[in-house]
Amino acid sequence: MSRVAPLSGFPEFLPAGRVVEQRVIAKLAETFELYGFASVNTRSIEPMDQLLRKGETSKEVYVLRRLQAEAESGGDTGFGLHFDLTVPFARYVLENAGKLQFPFRRYQIQPCWRGERPQDGRFREFWQADIDIVDRDELPTHYEVEIPLVVGDALRSLPIPDVRIHVNNRKLSQGFYQGLGLSDPMGAIRAVDKIDKVGPAGVAKLLSEELGAADDQVKACLALAEIATDDESFVDAVRALGVSDPLLDEGLDELATVIATGAEDAPGLLRADMRIARGLDYYTGTVYETFMDGYGRLGSVCSGGRYDNLASDGKNSFPGVGISIGISRILVPLVSEGKLGATRDVPTCVLVALPDTDSRRDCDRIAAKLRSRGVATEVAPAAQKYGKQIKFAERRGIPFVLFPSSGTDGHEIRDIRSGEQSTVDIDSWLPPTTDLRAEIQRTGE
């Protein structure tokens, strides 16, 4: 059989990496629930018209087709895999609006699929964690303050490098471009959103050639993008550019509230950054992008914002604000570089040594007693010399080996890390809590 080549863009962890991923998912869920967010799960596929109705994403959608689809059926191309969790959630809210209690606080942790060129931190299949707060018709702006603080708490609870959430407001950007007299403010937002990819000169070219911006307008747009502060001083810096518009004033006030609250409740977490634009069309208020210290090459690892028009049935609208954490974007580089690992490769906490082949049933009963108290236990695969069975446990990181007693002396447990061994009552013995499960550990530092 020829060697199997890996499929680019579809990361797969070894067992230790999967332990890291599972523990991160569990920790995120735990934090979200502490803030009252309820878990939901949506289907993996959506109708194509639903997936494509907001933003420029047509090139990113994986279309579904049955292998045996008849030619005249058109190949069943009416469905695609979801590329994020926000669009499916909007559909979920509309379908279940009569059963949900508003404001509805939701978290969702699922894989997504995006047909883009694989590169560092960008994959075709990836895990994502979203939180959103949605209300009916009106959504108070204080939720735009709460969302980044929740995510900051969640990310700071993980053993990853420090993160900073950069915040802007679409009203601020749109109002500024309107005040400048640009004919297509949304086009300007999309152009500025590309500044990290094409640089200021590239953005200037887009503004002038595609939007017809004059030199002074281009200069003002680039000057705005350079403003970034850790406090409310950005307000004066923006006003010093001499542009006025009611929508700009509204955006400045809203962003100032977010930054001021963040400085008080989570010092060092939030940064006002006029460069942040978020290219998707459905954002209407505060927007967020998050960067991890030492991993600027990954771009934003956690993004989102406020949307007022994503979910509407024609009679009712359901404005919301949310943020998405790129779990795979954060973890794959850290695990592959050896920065994050697991305390052991397997769930097993105790290996029951096998004295001889005839003792297997007795060892199985010992293992069953430990499992009944929540201790992950397995019996050695073969009745080898005890030294080899201990090596078997060491290679897998299993912390304890139990040696069964055939008499009345009691069973013995060895901590193979310290070499300490003692007689224990198998009906009551429990390992230290820190050893019960495989956990994340920072490595390579």
State whether residue 431 is helix, strand or coil.
Answer: coil
Q: Which amino acid is at 256?
A: A
d(CA 436, CA 100): 38
Give Cα 373 to chain centroid, integer Å. 33
Q: Is 66 annotated as a binding residue?
A: no
The residue among 265, 219, 227 whose CA lies nearest residue 248 is 227
> How far is residue 415's CA from residue 395's CA, in Å, rounded to a whole number?
14
Residue 414 marked as a ligand binder: no
CA quadruple 7, 323, 186, 82: dihedral sign: positive
- Choose among 70, 34, 64: nearest CA to 47: 64
278 among annotated binding-site residues: yes
Is residue 308 marked as binding? no
Is 76 known to sit in a ligand binding site? no
276/263 Cα distance (integer angstroms): 19
**What is the enclosing helix (H) or strand (E) of 422?**
strand 421-424
Say whether 120 counts as a known binding-site residue: no
Q: Would you say 288 is a known binding-site residue? A: no
State yes or no: 114 annotated in a binding site.
yes
Chain-centre distance for alpha carbon 127:
7
Half-sphere CA count of 175, side-chain side, radius 13 A: 23
Q: Is 162 annotated as a binding residue?
A: no
- The whole-angstrom separation of Cα 337 and Cα 391 is 27
Bridge-based pairing state of the strands 320-326 and 125-134: antiparallel
For the annotated binding site for L-histidine, the residues are: 84-86, 114, 128, 132, 278, 282-283
Binding residues: 84-86, 114, 128, 132, 278, 282-283
